[in-house]
């Protein structure tokens, strides 16, 4: 969710100074705390499918059987 140059001052518009770097790392830390507290986990693309994430298709919403196009 970020590229390694973002961890070096002056390499990206997101981290221009030491203060920017500290703020950037603090945001990443807060995000990771949120993910952990929320019970979220990472998955690979092959693991990701609508049934596993609780998604519904437009067919299910309309009461029809089958796969949404």
CA distance 61 to 55: 11
pLDDT at 45: 81
C-alpha distance across the termini of the chain, in Å: 30
Check pLDDT > 70 for residue 56: no
Q: Render pLDDT for 13-54 as a digit per residue (tens, 0 to 9).
A: 889 999 999 999 999 999 999 999 998 888 788 887 777 666
And the tokens for 14? 């997101």
Contact of 21 with 11, CB cutoff 8 Å: no
Whole-model pTM: value is 0.57
Q: How many CB atoms lie within 10 A of CB 20?
A: 16
């Amino acid at each position: 969710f970020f590229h390694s140059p973002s961890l070096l001052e002056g390499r990206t518009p997101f981290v221009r100074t030491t203060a920017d770097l500290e703020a950037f790392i603090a945001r990443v830390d807060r995000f990771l705390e949120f993910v952990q507290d929320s019970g979220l986990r990472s998955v690979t693309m092959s693991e990701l499918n609508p049934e596993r994430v609780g998604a519904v298709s437009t067919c299910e919403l309309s009461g029809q059987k089958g796969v949404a196009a």
